[in-house]
Structures are given as structure tokens and as C-alpha cells.
Structure 1
Amino acid sequence: MQVVGITNQQEVYVVSKDVPFKINQILIIEDNLQGILRGEVIETTSYNKFIPLNINGDMVDNNILNSLKNLGYEIDENTIYIAKVRLVHEAKYPVTTGSIVRFPKFDEVKDLLLKCKRDEGLVLGVIKSTEELLDTLDEELYDKFCILEDGKIIKQNGVPFIFDIKSMNQYPHIGIFGGSGSGKSFGMRVILEEIMKKNIPTVVLDPHYEMDFSKNSGVDSKYSFDFSGKFLCLQIGKDVGVKFENLTTRDLINLISAAAAGTMTESMANVVETLHEYKDTYFSFERRLSLLKEGFDIGNEAKINKLLEDAKNKGDDDNVRHYEDMLEVFREYKRSVAPQSLSGVLWRLQRLFRDGLFTSDISKVENGLLSGKTVVIQGPMKILNVFATYLISTLYYKRREYRDAKQRGEAQEFFPPFILAFDESHNFAPKGYETPSKAIIKEIAQEGRKYGVFLILATQRPALLDETVTAQLNTKIIFRTVRASDINTIKEETDLTSEEARRLPYLTSGDAFVSSAIMGRTIPIRFRMAITTTIHGENPFDELYDAQHKFYEDVYNKIKKHLPVAPTDLASLLAKIGTDVAPNVDVLKDILEKLVEKGYIQVKSSPFGDFYMDV
């Protein structure tokens, strides 16, 4: 392998007549003047005798072809492999044409590929195009995981990609971008598995109910790991919720605003500020709102007084107390709030209660973080968005208060640093409009590093994620992305080259580019096989076929003792097996025909007509 053509300090062309080049492959250039130079293949092509020499693309011109001839390459006879190589570090002078080029040994490029020791970082997968380095790899880095390729499980086939998580203190926050089926959720699972191995406290907001780590994916026991004591799955309304008594007025406004999908008016906020009292329970606050609304519905004090007098005359003590309380609330607040806004607040508050938001607290989340666990919060996107506002704010400010108190030299109960991981993050911090959760996420994106709070934000649509948040993601992991607007956003926010950006729509599921300030350059990787698997991993068509097979097998087992049976006797057969199998004779006949088609039974002719018979 040699350098050919006109060179400069940044890019050169390298030619080989024996070995084809791979994109992102690292090569060693032995320049007689400047010594060892390292470069990365950014483009590659091949020429042979079947391609006329006057056909030149953007990459190869006549200067390179003439250089090949001068160096003794018979380009009219042999296949020639050509690579465009960008130097990792700019050379002092243009690279000498004719310099020998070779594949590196691991020690020669270790500093480019590894930024921390294996046991200090997250082992996420293998760096693409590093197969040639496998033989010279350090023992501690060899055969540590397996990879799924083309449906087959294979051993580690290159240098492991190890993410230096401690460097997040300097370069915080991770973004995971990729379209549906690109491997985005799979990649997030691998990252969370590695985080659990390190016992780093983490909160995961999971709208898809898929981040459960109890089911093994089928990896060899050599690579397996037991996560059973490393995580908790908690459902909103069942295991976690909001303790109403602990809510400040501002917290309550944020919750109701989130329930209103960001459409809460100033007048509605005024209702909460006016009627909410310190240490209110849900029921005391809801009753105050309901009494005031009922008072507005009745009309005025005179009408309420008349109802009160009627209740007294009837000796109805319950209604007497009810109208007395209503009169007191109505007199105090009738001029302070608008009836329509009051109705809007009450309706949203009652909906949050029906969703189970006020049935528990977040003590299990806090205890899980203190134990170094990953706490997965599951729930529908709408209610998860509402709950996230309260949860994130509470946890973040607990950590912030601890750090501020420590800085001042004051005693404060320890609260650990932690990571917040979101799937579908553009729903929590959208671009172009405000949501309650967006404000706290932006604050963490900008200030969280100081307090040891970090974000992992995954989304299919990076173009819809708030720009301030996107700009703070110092590490971006980019899977297959098709939409032009998303690719443009990625190009603006990363150091991906134009060539790499063009490859984004064609990446294989599980392949990704890692653009990170920690690494200093974009690294192409393939994620390792996850140790665990989602409950949604089953192919839906396999699920359908299995269900159909079970149905017909169950029907066959019910009717086989009644065979043979003539088509004219289907009504009596239906009476014997029950209408739970088929509601009527027509449906039963269709089922029998399907059983014939599937080979469970057969139709045979006899002097007395056709019969359904066992095989």
C-alpha cells in the first residue's frame, strides 16, 4: 500500500493492489520526512481493466491514475483499490507521495480508540473496521461480548467501544437519535445495562413498557449478567405517584398545566394560587373547588341561603353543613376567580386523580436511587409527561440542595448524583412551544453538570427536540435516520462529515455513529448484543401464527371424538362442542374447512355422502 497523487497536510490517496479498504479504517503512513502519520479512510473505490480510464468520479482524477502508472501499478490489467484518507492530526508538510502505508498494531492507535480502562467505562459494542487489530488487542479487551449480525450471534470481532462515563462531568449529556427500527431503543437498553453494572443511580421514563431487564436475550452464560437486584419497574398510579400534601402551589400549577397539555391560562393559574392552601390534601382542595363551582352554578348568596334554610326546616343535617360550607367558600372567593377557569381547573384535577397520580408518592424512586439502582417509571405518555414534571424537579432540587449545602459547609442528608433517561424525549422538551417538563429539562441540560445530574435523551425526531437541549448534548449516538430535516439537524449539531451524513439512511440496524467531545472525533460502532430483551421482542406475525395454531389445535381436540361427521350433521356437532368454539353452523363449517386445509382432518366420500374424518 502506498500514497499516490497530489497530497496535502490533511488528506491523501492510498492505493493497494491486494487488499480492499473499508470506510473508517485506520492506516499508518510511514513518511520518510515526518515519520509515522495516522489517517482514517473516508472514501474508497476500486478500478480494473473493465473500467475505461477516462471515466473519473469525484474521488479519482487523472493525476492519481498517472501517479499509479509511474509507481508501477498496471491499472489496465489488475484491480486497484484506492482510498481517500484524512489524517487524524494535520501534518507539518504535504505527505510524501510514494510513502509506504500499512495496517496498524493496536498499541499504535490505542489512544485514538480508547479513552478509559474497560472496568471504568461502558462497554457498548465494537468499533467498526477494526478487525485487523483483533490479533494485537490487549487481553483484557478480548472476547468480552458478542454481536448479533444477520440473525447470527458472533464473537467480538474488533476493538471494543468503551464510553468514558466519568468524562460526562466535563462533557455532559447523551443524545440517542434514530428512526423506527434503527436500533435506537436497543442501543439505549445496552447503555442502561452498562450503567446498572456500575451501580449508577438512574431514572428511566418508559412510555412503551419495554425497559424491563429480567428476561435474558439468550446470550451465552459467559457474557450474561444478573440484573435482578439492579433495577426497579414502577408504574404510575400503582407504585408511584404524587403526595398531594407535599405539593407547593407552583408544583400544583405545573401538574395541572401539564394535564392541560400546556394550555393553562393565567386565569386558571390564578384559581390554583387563590384556593390552594398549605398542606392541603387532595380531598380538601377538591372539595373547596367543588363547593365554589356549585355555588356559581346556583347563582348567588340569596339562593344558597334559601337552600340552607330549606335544609334546616327539613332537619337535613348533612345538607345543612354542606350549604354552610358552600356559603363560606362562596363569600370568600366569589370575586377572586372566574367560574369558567374554576371549572377547567377542577376537571383537570379530577382527571389526574382518576389516573391515579395522587395515590402514592416517590419514596420508592428515592430509595432506589440511594441504593444505586436503575428505577424505570412506566405509564402512558400523557400521564408520564405530567408526572415527569414533578418527579424531575423534586429529584433535581434535592440533589442541588445537597451540593449547595455541602459547598456552604452545612450538614445535609446525602442525595446521590444520578442520570435521567428519556425515550421519546421530544415529547418532554419539544421545539417551538413550552411544556412544564421542558423548563426543568432545559435547566438540567444547562446547569445539571455542576450538581452531578445528567441526561440521556432518545428520540426518533431530533428536529423536534428543543434546540437549547440538543446543543447541550456533548455525546450524540446516531442510528439510521431517513428524514432530511433530522439529518440536517444532526449535521448542524455534530462533526459528521458529508460522506457520513449520506450514509445515515442506509445504516444497518444496530450500527451507529458516535459523535462525542469525549472521543474528539466521530466513531462508527456496532452495538453489542443486549444481555436482556424486551417483552415486545416477539415478531407480531409469529405471535399471530402461534395464536392461530393454538386455536385450531384446541378445536381439533374438542371435535375429534365426535368424528366422523357429515356436513348435514353440523348442528348436532355444534350442540355437542358448544358455541364458545363457533357461534353458529356457518362459522363451524369454515373452521372445519380450515382444519382440512391445515391437515388436522380430511374429507372422504362414501355411498352416504361426504364426511369429515380424522386423518
Structure 2
Amino acid sequence: MQVAGITNQQEIYVVSKDNPFKINQILIIEDKMQGILRGEVVETSSYNKFLSLNINGEMADREVLNSLKNLGYEVDENTIYIAKVRLIVEAKYPVATGSLVRVPSFSEVRDLLVSVNPENGLVLGVIKSTEELKTSLDPVFEDKLCLFENGNIQLQNGVPFVFDIKSMNQYPHIGIFGGSGSGKSFGMRVILEEIMKLNIPTVVLDPHYEMDFSQRSGLDSKYAIDFKDKFACLQIGRDIGIKFQDLNTRDLINIISSAAAGTLTDSMANVIQSLHEYRDSYLTFERRLNLLKEAFEIGNENKINKLLQEAQTKGEKERIRDLEDMLEVFKKNSSIPAASLNGVLWRLQRLYRDGIFTSDIRPVENNLLAGKTVIVQGPIKVLNVFSTYLISNLYYKRREYRDSKQRGEAAEFFPPFILAFDESHNFAPKGYETPSKSIIKEIAQEGRKYGVFLILATQRPALLDETITAQLNTKIVFRTVRASDIDIIKEETDITSEEAKRLPYLTSGDAFVSSAIIGRTVAIRVRMAMTTSSHGENPFDELDDMMNKKYREAYDRIKRVLPIMPTKFISVLDEIGSDVAPNVETLRNLLDNLVDKGYIDYKKTPLGDMYVAK
């Protein structure tokens, strides 16, 4: 391999007559004047005089071809492989044409590929185009993972990609971008598995109920870990919720605002501020709202006095006096409109029906203190409401601990932690404000100082708040098709235009990692996960299994009454039960399907046509 054509300090062309080049391959250039230089392949092509194509001009630069002839390459007879190589570090002078080029050993490029040993970082996959370095790998990097390719499990075939998570202290937050089927959720699963291996406290908001790590994949035990004691799945409304008595007025406004998709009006906020009292329970606050609503409907003191005179029981009289008190509240705050009151009451009751105000967040805190990953599951709308309260409480507990420690005051320890969101554009949308977006933005900008970090996954980076996107110092980009999303990725990363063109065609599980921690973009293949999702089953296979189960169960009933003549269908219905076939037409279709599936046969006999045992 040699340098050919006109060169400069940044880019060169490298040619070979024996071996094709791979995109993102690292090469060593031996320049006699400047010594050892390192470069990365950014474009590849091959040239053959008799099989050339005209794509955007010449397939190979004319100067390169002339240089090849001068170097002794028989370009008129052989296929020549050509690579455009960008130097990792800009050279002082243009690279000398004719300089020898070779594949490096691992020690020569270790600083470019790995910065931390596997036991101290996240082993996320294999760096693409590093297969030639496998034989020179240090033992500490050998045989650390498996890949899943072409339907088969394959052993590690290159340099492992190890993310230095401790460097997030300087370069915080991770973004995971990719369209449906790109491997985005799979990549997030792998990241969370690695985080659990290091016992880093983490909270995951899971709207799809898929981040369960109890089901092992088909990996050998050498490459897999049992995570059952390292995570906890908690469902909103069943395991965790919001303790209403702990809410201050601001928290309550934020929660009800989240339930209204961020559309709480000023008058609605005024209703809450006027009626909410310290240490209110849900029942006392709801009762106060209902009383004021009823007082509105009654209208004046004369009607209330009349009701008081007509009241017959002590309890009824107390309730009417409460109505009178509520009417006084309305007089003092006449800016409370009935529509706003009804809006607050309706949203509050809906939250209660969703189970938001059951239990508390103590199980989340306890698991974080134990170094576990907590999976918070619930519908996206409920998660949006709950996340505002949960994130605020956890973040300010950590912040209060760090601030107290800084002041030299004693404080109860609360650990640093990671917050991971799937479908994060729903929690921090671009273009409008939501309560959850406000706290996420604060963490994105200031969380590093307090040891709170974000992992935000989304199919639509263009819909994620721009301020938050800009704070994601590491971005893992899977296959992305939409032009608007690709434009955002190009703006927010150092991905080149050539790499951006490849984004719509990436294989599922392949990704570009653009990180300030690494200093350049790295192409990786995400490793095989140690666990599987409950959504991993192909829905068409699921359908086949259910239908086959249905036919097996039907056959177990029908085989007792074989043979069956079509003229005897009514009597057969009584024998097999209406749950198998409620009418003659259904029975006929079922029997025909059992024939097609090979359970029974349909034969012509001297006694007539009949369904018989096979």
C-alpha cells in the first residue's frame, strides 16, 4: 500500500493492488520526512479500466491514476483499490507521494480506540473495521463480548468499544438517536446492562414495558450476567406513586399542569393556589374543590341559609356550613371562574383514577441507595405526570446533599445517579414548555456539578429541545432516515458529510458514536445483549403459535367423536361444546382447517363423505 496522487496536510489517497479498504479503517503512513502518521479511511473505491463507472465524474482522480502508473501499478490491466484517508492529526507538511502505508498493530493505535479497561467502563460493542488488530490485542481486551449477526451468535472479532463513563463528570449526558428498527432500544438495553454491572444507581422511565432484565438471552454464561438482584421494576399506581400530603402548592400545580399536557391556565393555577393547604390529603383537597363547585351552583347566602334550616342531621348541617365557608372564599377571590374550577377538579380526579396518588417514591430511593437500576413503568401520559415529581425530588435531594457537604454541614447521603428516558422528545419537546422539560433542562445544564446525568433516547432528535440536545456530549446515532433529523445530527455532532450519507443505510445494531470524551466519531457494532425484551417475539410467530394452540385444543375435543359425517354436525356440536364451535358453519370451517393443518383427513366412503382420523 502506498500514498498516491496530490496530497495535503489533511487528506491523502492510498492505493493497493491486493486488498480492498474498509470504511473507518485505521492505517499507518510512513513518511520519510515526518515519520509515522495515522489516518482513517473515509471513502473507498476500486478502479479497473475495463469495468469503470462514471459516478459524479471519474471514479478515481486523474492525478491519482497518473501517480499509480509512475509508481509501477498496471492500472490498465489490474483492479486497483483506492482509499481516501483523513489524517487523525494534521501533518506539518503535505504527505510525500509514494510513502508506504500499512495496517497498524494494536499498540500503535490503542490511544485512538480505547481509553479505559473493560472493568472500569461500558463494553458496548466492537469498533468497526478493526478485525486486523485482533491478533495484536492486549489480553485485557480479548474475548469480552459476543455479536449477533446474520441470525447467528459470533465471538468478538475486533477491538471492543469501551465507553469511559467516569469521564461523564467532565463531558456529561448521552443521546441515543435512531429510527424504528435501527437498534436504538437494543443499544439502550446494552448500555443499561453495563451500568448495572458497575452498580451505578439509575432511574429508567419505560413507557413500553420492555426494560425488564430478568429473561436471559442465548449467550453462554461466560459472557452473561444474572441481573435479577441489580434492578427493580416498579409500576406507577401499583408499586409507587405520589404521596399527596408531601406536595407543596408548586408541585401540585406542576403535576396537574402535566396532566393537562402543559396547558394549565393562569386561572386554573389560581384555583389551586387559593384552595390548597399545607399537608392536604387528596380527599380533603378534592372535598374542598367539590364544596366550592356546589357553592357556585347554589349561588348565594340566602339559599345556603335555607338549606341550613332544612337540614335534619348534624352531618348535613356541618356540610352546609362548609359550603358557606367556601362561598366566603369565592367572595374574597372572585377571580375564580367556574370553568377553571371544573377543569382542575376533572384533571385531579383523572390523576387519582390513574393511581398517581397511591403509595410514594420511597421504593425508588431505597433501590438507588442500594446501587440498583430502577425501571419505572407506566403509560406515556402517566409517566409524563409522574416524572415531573419524581425527577425533581431525586435531583433536589442529591443537590441538597452536595450543597450541604460544600458548606461543611452534616447531611443524609444521597447517591449520584443517572436518569434514562426512552421517547425523550415526549418529556422535553421542542417548541413548547412542559413541567418535565423544565427540570430536565436544569439537569442538562447543571446536573454535572451534582453528579446527576442523563441518557436520552429518541426516534426524532429534531423534536427534542435544542438546549438539551446541545448538552449531550456523547451521541450514539443509529440508522436515521428523516432529512430533518439527519440535519440536527450533523449540526450537533462531528459526523462528516460522508458518514451522514450512510445514516439511512446502516444495518440494525450499527451506530456512529460522536463523543467529546473520545474526540472523534467512531463506528461501532453494538454487542449482543445478555437479556431479552418481552417484546422480542415476532408478532407473526406469536400469531402462528396461538392459532396452532387453538387447533390443538379443538382437535383434542373433536378426535373423540371421529368419524364425523356432515349430516351429523348438529349432534357433534352438543358433544364438543359451544366454546369450540357455536354453530354448524363454524364447525365446518374448523374441520376444514384441521384437514389443511394435517390433524385429520376428509374421505369419500361407501357411507358418504366424512371427516376421519389421520
TM-score of the superposed pair, with normalisation by structure 1: 0.98
Answer yes or no: is 1:393 the counterpart of 2:395.
no
Q: CA deviation at 1:607?
A: 2.3
State the match for 1:446 in structure 2.
445
2:609 maps to amino acid: D
Residues 438 and 608 of structure 1: is their aligned pair in 2 closer, same or farther, counting only changes over 3 Å?
A: same
Structure 1 counterpart of 2:316: 319
Code of the residue aligned with 2:138 in structure 1: it is D
Compared CA separation, residues 52 and 533, structure 1 to 2 (3 A): closer
Code of the residue aligned with 2:325 in structure 1: it is: E
Give the distance between the partners of 1:334 and 1:306, measured in 2 at CA: 19
Q: CA deviation at 1:525?
A: 0.2
Q: Paired residue for 1:499?
A: 498
Q: What aligned pairs does 1:502-581 form with structure 2 within 5 A after superposition?
A: 502-581=501-580
Change (3 A) 1:494 1:324: same
- The one-letter code of the counterpart of 1:413 is E
Cα distance, 1:331 vs. partner? 1.5
Determine the structure 2 residue equivalent to 1:123. Answer: 123
Corresponding residue pairs, total? 612
Deviation readout 1:137-157 (Å, 9 max, x if unpaired):
010100111000011100001
Deviation of the 1:327 alpha carbon: 1.2
Task: State how far apart, in whole Å, the 1-side matches of 2:54 and 2:304 are.
Answer: 97
Partner of 2:42: 42
Superposed CA RMSD = 1.1
Task: Out of 338-347 and 100-109, give the one that drifted further.
Answer: 338-347
SS in 1 for 2:535: helix
Offset of residue 582 of structure 1: 1.5
Are residues 1:330 and 2:327 paired? yes
CA change 1:252–1:54 in 2 (3 A) is closer
Q: 1:219-273: per-residue Cα shift (whole Å, max 9, x none)?
A: 1111010111100000000101001111110000000000011110000000111
Offset of residue 212 of structure 1: 0.4
| Partner Cα distance (1:554, 1:33) in 2 | 80
Aligned ranges for residues 246-285 of structure 1 at < 5 Å?
246-285=246-285
- 2:232 and 2:401 map into 1 onto residues whose CA distance is 24
What is the deviation of 1:325? 1.4
Amino acid at match of 1:14: V
Asked if the contact 1:200–1:372 (Cα under 8 Å) also holds between the matched residues in 2, the reply is: yes
Specify the SS of the correspondent of 1:383. helix
Please report how far the alpha carbon of residue 51 of structure 1 lies from its aligned counterpart in structure 2 after TM superposition.
2.7
Partner SS for 1:148: strand
2:109 alignment counterpart: 109
Cα distance in structure 1, aligned partners of 2:55 and 2:552: 64
In structure 1, the partner of 2:344 is 345
Q: For residues 418 and 583 of structure 1, what CA distance do their matches in structure 2 show?
A: 58
Structure 1 residues 52-61 or 37-46, which shifts more? 52-61
1:89-488 correspondence runs (5 A): 89-311=89-311, 315-336=312-333, 337-488=336-487
User: What letter matches 2:436 in structure 1?
Assistant: S
Q: In structure 2, do the counterparts of structure 1 residues 58 and 203 end up closer, same or farther at CA, with 3 Å as the change threshold?
A: farther
Q: Which SS does the other structure have where 2:104 is aligned?
A: coil
Q: 1:470, CA displacement in angstroms?
A: 0.2
CA distance in 2, matches of 1:350, 1:383: 13
Q: Secondary structure at the match of 2:101?
A: strand
Moved more, 513-522 or 598-607: 598-607
Q: For the residues of structure 1 that align with 2:468 and 2:446, how far apart are their CA atoms?
A: 11
Matched, 1:27 2:54: no
The residue aligned with 1:88 is 88
What SS does the corresponding residue of 2:190 show, helix, strand or coil? Answer: helix
Q: Deviations over 1:579-601 (max 9, x none)?
A: 00112110110000001111111
Change (3 A) 1:203 1:301: same
**Amino acid of the residue matched to residue 522 of structure 1?**
T
- 1:603 paired residue number: 602
Deviations 1:374-396 (A, max 9, x none): 00000000000000000000000
**Is the 2:147–2:526 contact (alpha carbons within 8 Å) kept by the matching residues of 1?**
yes
Going from structure 1 to structure 2, the CA distance change for 1:597 and 1:54 (only over 3 Å counts) comes to closer
Q: Is the 8 A contact 2:398 2:414 kept in 1?
A: yes
| Other structure's SS at 1:537 match | coil
Deviation at 1:53, TM superposition (A): 9.0
Give the 3-state SS of the residue equivalent to 2:43 in structure 1.
Answer: strand
Distance 1:301 1:380 in 2: 45
User: Aligned partners of 2:408, 2:543: CA distance in 1, in Å?
Assistant: 63
**1:322 is matched by which residue type in structure 2?**
R
Q: Which amino acid aligns with 1:548?
A: M
Label 1:443 to 1:52 Cα distance change in 2 as closer, same or farther (>3 A): closer
Q: Tell me which amino acid in the other structure corresponds to 2:231.
A: F
2:579 aligned partner, one-letter code = D
- CA gap of 1:525–1:54, structure 2 versus 1, over 3 A, is closer
CA contact (8 A) 2:117 2:140 kept: no
Residues in 2 aligned to 1:62 and 1:516: alpha-carbon distance in whole angstroms? 36
Q: Which runs of 5 or more structure 1 residues have no equivalent in the other structure? A: none
Q: Is the 8 A contact 1:59 1:84 kept in 2?
A: no
Could you tell me which amino acid in structure 2 is paired with residue 72 of structure 1?
A: G
SS of the residue 2:542 aligns to: helix
* Matched residue SS, 1:604: strand
Identity among equivalent pairs (%): 73
- Please name the residue that 2:78 is paired with: 78
* Contact 1:267–1:341 (Cα < 8 Å) also in 2: yes
Give the aligned residue type for 1:142. Answer: E
Contact 2:47–2:59 at 8 Å: present in 1 too? no
Aligned to 1:589: 588
The structural deviation recorded for 1:317 is: 2.8
Post-superposition shift, 1:318?
Answer: 2.7
Question: Structure 2 vs 1, CA of residues 393 and 565 (structure 1 numbering), >3 Å: closer, same or farther?
Answer: same
Query: Which whole-Å CA distance do the structure 2 matches of 1:284 and 1:59 have between them?
Result: 77
Instruction: Label 1:53 to 1:571 Cα distance change in 2 as closer, same or farther (>3 A).
Output: closer
CA change 1:403–1:52 in 2 (3 A) is closer
Task: Tell me whether 1:613 sits opposite 2:608 in the alignment.
Answer: no
Deviation at 1:608, TM superposition (A): 2.3
Q: 1:7-41: CA deviations, max 9, x gaps?
A: 00000000000000000000000000000000000
Three-state SS of the structure 2 residue aligned to 1:536 is coil
- 8 A contact 2:46–2:82 mirrored in 1: yes
SS of 1:101's equivalent in the other structure is strand
Aligned mates of 1:330, 1:160 — CA distance in 2? 70
1:58 and 1:397 mapped to 2: Cα distance?
61
Q: Which amino acid aligns with 2:281?
A: T
What is the deviation of 1:49? 3.7
Q: Does 1:6 align with 2:6?
A: yes
Deviation at 1:335, TM superposition (A): 4.1
Do the aligned residues in 1 keep the contact of 2:117 with 2:141 (CA within 8 Å)?
no
By how many angstroms is 1:107 displaced?
0.1
Please list every run of 5 or more consecutive structure 2 residues that lacks an aligned counterpart in the other structure: none
Equivalent runs, 1:49-64 vs 2, <5 Å? 49-52=49-52, 57=57, 60-64=60-64
The residue type paired with residue 404 of structure 1 is: D
The separation in 2 between residues aligned to 1:138 and 1:124, in whole angstroms, is 18
1:316-356 deviations in Å (ceiling 9; x for gaps): 33322211211122222344122111111111111111111
Instruction: Find the residue that maps to 1:554 and give its secondary structure.
Output: helix
What does the per-residue CA deviation read over 1:139-198, in whole Å, with 9 as the maximum and x for residues that have no partner?
010011100001110000100000000000000000000000000000000000000000
